[in-house]
A and B are shown apart, each in its own frame.
Chain A
Amino acid sequence: MGGLEKKKYQRGSATNYITRNKARKKLQLSLPDFRRLCILKGIYPHEPKHKKKVNKGSTAARTFYLLKDIKFLLHEPIVNKFREYKIFVRKLRKAYGKSEWGTAERLKDNKPTYKLDHIVKERYPTFVDALRDLDDALSMCFLFSTFPRTGKCHVQTIQLCRRLAVEFLNYVIASRSLRKVFLSIKGIYYQAEVLGQPITWITPYAFAHDHPTDVDYRVMATFTEFYTTLLGFVNFRLYHSLNLHYPPKIDGQAEVELKPAEGKEYAMDSESYLEKLSALSASLARVVAPTQEDDVEMDEFPVEGETAEQMDARRKEQEALEKHKKLFEGLRFFLNREVPREPLAFIIRCFGGQVSWDKSLCIGATYDVSDPSITHQIVDRPQVEQQVVGRYYLQPQWVFDSVNAKLCLPVADYFPGVLLPPHLSPFVTEQEGDYIPPEKLKLLAMQRGEDPGEESEEEEEEEEEEDDNDKEEEEEEEDESEKEEEMKLKKMEEQKTQSNKALPVKVTAGKVRLEDKQRLEQEQQSEEKRLAIMMMKKREKYLYKKIMFGKKRKIREANKLAAKRKAHDTAMKEEKKKTKKARHA
């Protein structure tokens, strides 16, 4: 062979990775600083394909970073800022120790700070990239904005988070880009579509937090630091894309309305502005006054290789979207004080509705309860004493369900004190073979435009149930066909052996067996399949078995849900009958 001997672990994948400790030493950073840097720069460990090779033959559990990532961190200006900050802390401590208050003050004034703008640009080279990663940023900002103004983290951070979150909400209202909402037990999920990117975020219910002790708030604060920067820039860009002022300005006309009457001071000037903004009731001022013919008809360019049908479908989709955006147009809502104001106001405004609330509840109420033009009043109490004729009294779920259904649902199910229909997740898209709850089926039928009466609805339900059952049976059949076959064979065997045992003595009269051709065919096919499976390669067989296992589990789960539902429905029916009987008696 000749040549130098090749040393192990000096080429190939071993040189592409670096362990965390080595990386830390290379960067000359302490572990917390390294962590902060990783969070800000979005650097995460990689799992090498061949861990043992990378680990130089050892199998110890280690986290590996890409060497390129770490080299890239070497040039990061923020690293120097970290070091400066370390020095600053040391100096400050010294000054305090010597009781040199003047020096301490001076040092505090010159506290080193850093900006994350360049990191945002670097991590998200295009705006769409930033939008794609906005989910976590929004959820975090909404969480931080609900924190108390004391303790856990800096007040400025919390205020900034609140400001950015409110700005984003105002943008979503202005652009009418909200698509889905979901009341979960964890919080409220929202999904908006911004520049074609679905952005989902969750907000907690408005309660005080029971701050857990096993959570490292420093880590969360570091994330928030980055997220606020990101969200700020995204907001700026989004506002400018709609020709809105940034920082947002409330429409002049609306501002006049919003002025607190009787010259009462609502809050400090600096705060009242944000409060007004967060009331979400006023529209924002535009840089260029909008002309009425703003809705430009979109030109349609036929895409190459697209059939007329596809185009048609696209157009229809576009129309449906436009309709969805104007879902609450022309409706006037009034929120009772027990209803969560912010989410409902946000949702209603997002779909073009007008909304108001009690003046004492929050700033920005535009009309009173007694306003006769109110069409819907959102109520969350068992009954309403004084009902005004001419408006619907509804529970808040109606708003959420209507948004998800993309149409105003019939109001009868949502009157106050009525047992509500289940609230379904709009994020689930059922595929073939999945379990679909009957409510969803009803909803789908309604969306298709079928509007069955209540009587027929029940029938439909039953039919659906039957369908379900049929499906189940089929599935079960598929499941158990193999087993059945085997059982049959066994039975036949047994019969044969028995007959054989009896053979020496007597001959029983044979019976004409009707052969089910279809059945036979099926059996043959399944046997063929089984034999073919026997011939599969080991790896493929493993994969096949895994896939089949997953499929079967899915089917089993769907069946279980269906069975549960059926049991529940029968129980409910019986109860109903009983109550009816009791009523009759």
Chain B
Amino acid sequence: MEQPLELESDDDLTDSEESVYSGLEDSGSDSTNSSAGEEEEDEEEREEHGNGAAPEVKGAPRKSKALGADPPPKDSEGLSVPDEYEEDSSDEEDIRNTVGNIPMEWYQDFPHIGYDLEGKRIYKPIRNKDELDKFLEKMENPDYWRTVQDKMTGADIKLTDEQVDLVHRLQKGQFGDVHFNPYEPAIDFFTHEVMIHPVTNRPADKRSFIPSLIEKEKVSKLVHAIKMGWIKPRKPKEDTPTYYDLWAHEDPNSILGRHKMHVPAPKMKLPGHEESYNPPPEYLLSEEEKLAWEQQEPAERRLNFVPQQYRCLRAVPAYPRFIHERFERCLDLYLCPRQRKMRVNVDPEDLIPKLPKPRDLQPFPTTQALVYRGHSSLVRCLSVSPSGQWLASGSDDGTVRFWEVCTARCMKTLPVGGVVKSIAWNPNPTVCLVAICVEQSVLLVNPCLGDKLLYGATDQVLESYVPPEEERVQPVQWVTATSEEHSRGIRLTVQHSKALKQVTWHGKGDYFATVVADNSNMQVLIHQTSKRWSQNPFRKSKGLVQCVLFHPIRPYFFVATQRYVRVYNLLKQELTKKLMANCKWVSSMAIHPAGDNVICGSYDSKLAWFDLDLSTRPYQLLRHHRKALRSVAFHKHYPLFASGSDDGTVIVCHGMVYNDLLQNPLLVPVKVLKGHALTLDLGVLDVIFHPTQPWVFSSGADGTVRLYT
């Protein structure tokens, strides 16, 4: 109980501020009808009495009373005893109600609100004001705004001016004390200046005067270690590298690197005009080029930057990829595999082989001389009469036409009622007979052209046939032509069981061979005209036969399958040679008139020249054509051969075969003949040489036959 009193006295002394207590007292005086409040006040007054202070008037303002009434005793008190609890006064403590710091709602339902010091109940003030009263009070009471309810006692308290001021100050975030100066000058307690005297007055320890034993022990250990050379004093480090003449004794013969395989790093490419900051205008990229550059992969770009132009040096910015480029160079230096590559430093002209000039190899066909028109569909095959006067051509339109070579006049048209696959004029000059492959049969036709004696004799020979006594079993049927057919020129029909591909005569003109488009052993048949007799030379099929040929002089028979050319000896009835064509699919074949060289055309646009004496592999593989070869042909007398291809060209080559066995044949392309138009992706279908002149005929898919002279 003393504490607040003393505080109050102190307040009086300083006269600075009134405690909350005094305020409460005032408010208590306001609520006069509260008996409890009066009692309380009474008690307080009593105590004040006990303390030696004597207030005369009850309920008068304390300040004036304190100031006016008794200053002397308080002064003496203040002087005599230093108040040690001055600072820790507690004005929150409200000791009239002893319930303590509890939620006051607990007393909501009771008439009292707690207990005073003597254990008596403190009753709540009677609140009988209704809303109207409250309103009236609010209107009438000028101090309503400064009236608050004390929760502990339930009494209304009117705040004094000082208290209101305090609330305002706290609301503004200022210090409660009006006289408190927050900006007092700082006192430098711990100064930065070095003082000569110690801050504390404490005497020094004894241990600070005596040498340390432990340290001594450690030092002596170190000294001993240094003496013994266990510890070496730390050397001052030089962090700057020292340089000297490293190559003072250089040995130029010492191998560069460790081995001969050392490849020095290539230097970086030096910049061109386009890298300049101000390049000539032609090096700048246009819009499209820039776009193309952006769309390219960074690795594909020819330049790794976009050329740019700046007006002056001042405007040039930093290159953002500078570090990248250095880094990439580093990576190249240590990660890129190096390899020595021989740079080809060849004049391309030197690569072209030196060949004899075509002009020196004349004669050969050079220009297109005649075009034979008449066929309405592609002309598959051609044949020239041995005299060289007549030309027969078979076409897909189901006709065979006979032409006079020199005039390009169609002498005769023979409808055969089917696609003509192959046609062959009898090579015997005394016989006038043409073999025509139509579907499943071979027609032997006497074209009745030229010398009347000649073709009359042919007819006589054919008619003089006497059938043998005993009928032999044959793979085909020989049928004599009917009179109607006879009038058209057809003399004999050799009927096969399957469709035919090719017919070819033996050089003597009596035998001919046919190829059936089949995969059985009956693919190749050899027929004899005079005896009307056919036989099957092979017991077994060796693959799909593409074409067959008789050797011009010797009794050999050439059979070309897809990849091989087999040479059979007809007398000995055995296989003598098997030529490897080195191509995918042989299309055609021709034999040199001397008989030692063979050329094969293939669908993979290669032409293989075989020297039969040399090897079974091609002596030379010519890739002159751009598309599949359809036919090849040798000239009978001149050293020429020609090939016709799907690309619409006929290439005439000089193919000199020497009698000297040691000298290899000389092959020189001499002329590319163009003329046939491409139809249905087909160009030239057949090529054949004139038997005596250096002329070449070609038939094409455009329905024409052309003569080049």
Contacts and interface: CB of A to CB of B under 8 A. Distances in A.
Interface of A: 35, 38-39, 42-47, 49, 63-64, 66, 68-69, 72, 109, 115, 117, 120-121, 123-127, 129-130, 132-133, 135-136, 139-140, 143, 156, 160, 182-187, 189, 200, 204-205, 207-212, 214-216, 219-220, 223, 228-229, 232-233, 235-237, 240, 246, 338-340, 380-381, 395-397, 419-420, 422-425, 427-428, 437-439, 489-490, 493, 496-497, 500, 524, 527-536, 538, 540, 543-544, 547-548, 551, 561-562, 564-565, 568
Contact of A220 (B310, B318, B330, B339): B330
Contact of B318 (A139, A207, A428): A207
Contacts of A223: 330, 333
A205 B256 contact: no
Interface of B: 234, 237, 239-241, 243-247, 250-252, 254-259, 261, 263-265, 267-268, 270-273, 275-283, 286, 305, 307-308, 310-314, 316-327, 329-331, 333-339, 344, 346, 348, 351-355, 357-359, 368, 371, 373, 622-624, 651, 667-672, 674-675
A113 B26 CA distance: 88
A543 B344 contact: yes
Given A68-B258, A437-B273, A204 B330 contact: no
B280 A565 contact: yes
A50 to B, nearest CB: 12
Contacts of A63: 335, 337
Contacts, number: 281
Contacts of A240: 245
Question: 9 closest A-B pairs (Cβ-Cβ)?
Answer: A207-B318, A427-B270, A47-B339, A565-B282, A47-B337, A45-B337, A564-B282, A422-B280, A236-B243
B278 A397 contact: yes
A531 B670 CA distance: 7
A381 B314 contact: yes
B279 to A, nearest CB: 6
B668 to A, nearest CB: 7
Given A531-B358, A532-B352, A544-B348, A185 B276 contact: yes
Contacts of A210: 318, 320
A235 B243 contact: yes
Contacts of A551: 348
Contacts of B312: 380, 395, 397, 420
A121 B241 contact: no
Given A38-B334, A544-B352, A140 B326 contact: yes
B298 to A, nearest CB: 13
Contacts of B307: 185
B320 A439 contact: no
Given A125-B256, A126-B250, A439-B280, A205 B337 contact: no
Nearest to B319: A186
A214 B324 CA distance: 8
27 contacts: A39-B334, A44-B337, A45-B338, A68-B259, A109-B237, A115-B241, A120-B246, A125-B252, A132-B264, A133-B264, A139-B326, A160-B241, A186-B271, A186-B322, A187-B319, A207-B318, A233-B245, A240-B245, A396-B313, A420-B278, A438-B280, A531-B355, A535-B355, A551-B348, A562-B282, A564-B281, A565-B281
Contact of B257 (A123, A200, A229, A528): A123
A547 B257 CA distance: 35
A185 B316 contact: yes
Main secondary structure of the interface of A (DSSP, over half): helix
A402 B633 CA distance: 72
A535 B667 contact: yes
Contact of A209 (B251, B265, B323, B352): B323
Given A66-B259, A428-B270, 11 more contacts: A39-B333, A63-B335, A130-B247, A200-B267, A204-B318, A219-B334, A422-B281, A424-B279, A531-B670, A535-B353, A536-B352
Nearest to A163: B240
Nearest to A396: B313
A44 B264 CA distance: 10
A525 to B, nearest CB: 10
B281 A538 contact: no
Nearest to A63: B337
B511 to A, nearest CB: 38
A472 B264 CA distance: 40
A531 B672 contact: yes
A189 B271 contact: yes
A580 to B, nearest CB: 21
Given A125-B252, A380-B313, A420-B311, A236 B276 contact: no
Contacts of A211: 323
Contacts of B331: 219
Contacts of B234: 109
B319 A185 contact: yes
Contacts of B280: 422, 424, 437-439, 565
A339 B261 CA distance: 48
Contacts of A132: 264
B252 A532 contact: no
A222 to B, nearest CB: 9
A477 B696 CA distance: 34
Contact of A136 (B261, B319, B333): B333
A183 B674 contact: no
Contacts of B336: 44-45
A572 to B, nearest CB: 8
Contacts of A568: 281-282
Contacts of A214: 324
B674 A45 contact: no
Contact of A44 (B282, B334, B352): B334
Contacts of B251: 125-126
A210 to B, nearest CB: 6
B261 A233 contact: no
Contact of B674 (A395, A427, A493): A493
Contacts of B268: 135-136, 200
Given A45-B338, A424-B276, A237 B247 contact: yes
B562 to A, nearest CB: 23
Contacts of B308: 185
Contacts of B348: 544, 547-548, 551
Contact of A46 (B243, B329, B337, B357): B337
A565 B273 CA distance: 14
A490 B323 CA distance: 59
A120 B330 CA distance: 17
Contacts of B281: 422, 564-565, 568
B277 A184 contact: yes
A64 B337 contact: yes
Given A68-B259, A185-B277, A233-B243, A135 B267 contact: yes
Given A44-B336, A543-B344, A536 B355 contact: no
